């Protein structure tokens, strides 16, 4: 896959963006209390992705078995005959489903949900601005995340611009695999950047994320040279990214080439997303992979601190022994 500028989604301030979640009171996506706008669509295919609903650009239907009361209104509502409810649950024919949402509207138990909603930049901004007082009191603001926000550059640029114009602190959360030109444009209205660095071995990076490493490193250098404060984030996934060698190698890269990095977050692997995969008819490849221990995370954090990055933090659920 290349990381050239995406076509299509763009044009003017009325350009809609496909958003899969607007999360208020977030405290993990930058400083203070924030609202995080999650954009749909990502060029990476990380095997550990815990937001699989953010990968595809298109809207998708999800069925929640625990909510289903077997009312069957959805089957009648579907104009394409895309649903089948049997003993083993709901089957969604995704070839036939055009994500019209009629089944979700018809379901009295809200067992079907469409993931992905169109917003204009102004509509998204209005959602974000509701919590302005919380941002002001906590040093927070808005973070645009994903998926990968640079996949919908004109919407995101306008949302960041509106937010900044209103005096909100703005953060861009990127996986780094993007057109450098697009990222530069988005940086114009971003006060800071959250940047993922996952693996420093090019072959492993390709195997684990589906994309080349070098464009990510190039963009990391560009973002840092823009002078924007950067928080690097590394998902620590057993058997994938959790070797001391990988952490030391990321640390060396940050210390030697990314002078504007203020903080490095190590995010412990989370295995609670299996149900999301099944609701999307996707395969969760890390089924049964155990959580890391707090001791293992602390040891990796020590390794990271040894690289000389100003602040290293780790977070996430860990197993008790
Ligand atoms: S970059 Fe993030 S959203 Fe994209 S596949 Fe990887 S973990 Fe998922
Ligand atoms: S979203 Fe529309 S096409 Fe898809 S299953 Fe529901 S009613 Fe049918």
Q: Average pLDDT, stretch 15-31?
A: 97
Instruction: Give the closest residue to 37 by CA, choosing from 149, 193, 122, 113.
Output: 149
Question: Judging by DSSP bridges, how do beta strands 230-236 and 192-196 pair with one another?
Answer: parallel
- How high is the pLDDT of residue 28? 94
Residue 83 beta carbon below 6 angstroms from any ligand 2 atom:
yes
DSSP class of 65: G
Model confidence at 7: pLDDT above 90? no
What is the CATH architecture of 61-114? Answer: 2-Layer Sandwich (3.30)
Model confidence at 4: pLDDT above 90? no
- How high is the pLDDT of residue 141? 98
**The whole model's pTM is what?**
0.94
DSSP class of 290: P
- How high is the pLDDT of residue 9? 39
Give yes or no for a contact between 52 and 276, defined as CB atoms under 8 angstroms apart: yes
Please tell me the distance from the alpha carbon of residue 41 to that of residue 151, in angstroms, as a whole number.
6
Q: Output the average pLDDT for the chain.
A: 95
Candidate from 49, 146, 220, 316 with most ligand 1 atoms within 8 A of CB, to mutate? 49
Nearest ligand for residue 91 CA: 2
64 burial level (CB within 10 Å; 0-12, 13-18, 19+): middle
Residue nearest to atom 3 of ligand 2 (CA): 97
When pLDDT is cut at 50, 70 and 90, the band that residue 320 belongs to is confident
- Quote the strand ranges of 6-160, DSSP E: 17-26, 34-39, 60-63, 83-86, 89-92, 112-115, 117-119, 141-145
- How high is the pLDDT of residue 12? 54
Domain boundaries 17-56+117-315, CATH class: alpha beta
Q: Average pLDDT, stretch 165-176?
A: 98
- How high is the pLDDT of residue 321? 63
Question: Judging by DSSP bridges, how do beta strands 83-86 and 117-119 pair with one another?
Answer: unpaired
Over residues 272-289, the pLDDT tens digits come to 999 999 999 999 999 999
- How high is the pLDDT of residue 317? 92
Ligand 2 centroid to residue 82 C-alpha, Å: 6
Task: Give the nearest ligand 1 atom to 147 CA.
Answer: 3
Over residues 210-242, the pLDDT tens digits come to 999 999 999 999 999 999 999 999 999 999 999
- How high is the pLDDT of residue 13? 73
Please tell me the distance from the alpha carbon of residue 211 to that of residue 196, in angstroms, as a whole number.
13
Over residues 174-194, the pLDDT tens digits come to 999 999 999 999 999 999 999
Nearest ligand for residue 282 CA: 1
Candidate from 98, 114, 279 with most ligand 2 atoms within 8 A of CB, to mutate? 98
Residue ranges per domain, the chain?
17-56+117-315, 61-114
- How high is the pLDDT of residue 10? 38
Task: Give the nearest ligand 2 atom to 112 CA.
Answer: 6
Helix (H, G, I), strand (E, B), or coil: what is residue 173?
strand
């Amino acid at each position: 896959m290349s990381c050239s500028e995406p076509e299509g989604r763009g044009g003017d301030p009325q350009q809609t963006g496909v958003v899969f979640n607007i999360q208020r009171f977030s405290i993990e996506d930058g400083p203070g209390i924030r609202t995080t706008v999650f954009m749909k669509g990502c060029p990476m295919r990380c095997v550990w992705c815990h937001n699989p609903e953010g990968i595809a650009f298109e809207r998708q239907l999800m069925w929640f078995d625990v909510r289903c009361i077997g009312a069957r209104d959805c089957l009648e509502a579907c104009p394409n005959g895309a649903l089948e409810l049997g003993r083993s649950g709901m089957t969604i024919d995704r070839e036939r489903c055009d994500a019209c949402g009629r089944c979700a509207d018809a379901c009295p138990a809200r067992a079907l949900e469409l993931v992905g909603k169109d917003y204009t930049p102004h509509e998204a901004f209005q959602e974000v601005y509701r919590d302005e007082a919380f941002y002001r009191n906590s040093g927070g603001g808005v973070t645009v995340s994903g998926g990968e926000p640079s996949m919908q550059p004109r919407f995101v640029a306008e949302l960041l611009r509106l937010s900044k114009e209103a005096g909100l602190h703005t953060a861009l959360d990127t996986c780094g695999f993007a057109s450098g030109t697009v990222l530069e444009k988005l940086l114009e209205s971003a006060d800071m950047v959250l940047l993922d660095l996952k693996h420093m071995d090019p072959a492993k990076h390709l195997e684990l994320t589906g994309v080349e490493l070098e464009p990510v490193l190039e963009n990391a250098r560009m973002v840092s040279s823009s002078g924007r404060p950067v928080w690097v984030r590394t998902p620590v996934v057993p058997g994938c990214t959790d070797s001391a060698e990988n952490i030391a190698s990321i640390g060396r890269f940050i210390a030697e080439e990314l002078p504007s990095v203020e903080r490095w977050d190590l995010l412990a692997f989370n295995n609670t997303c299996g149900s999301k995969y099944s609701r999307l008819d996707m395969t969760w490849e890390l089924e049964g992979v155990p959580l890391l221990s707090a001791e293992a995370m602390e040891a990796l954090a020590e390794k990271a601190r040894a690289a000389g990055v100003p602040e290293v933090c780790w977070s996430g659920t860990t197993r008790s022994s």
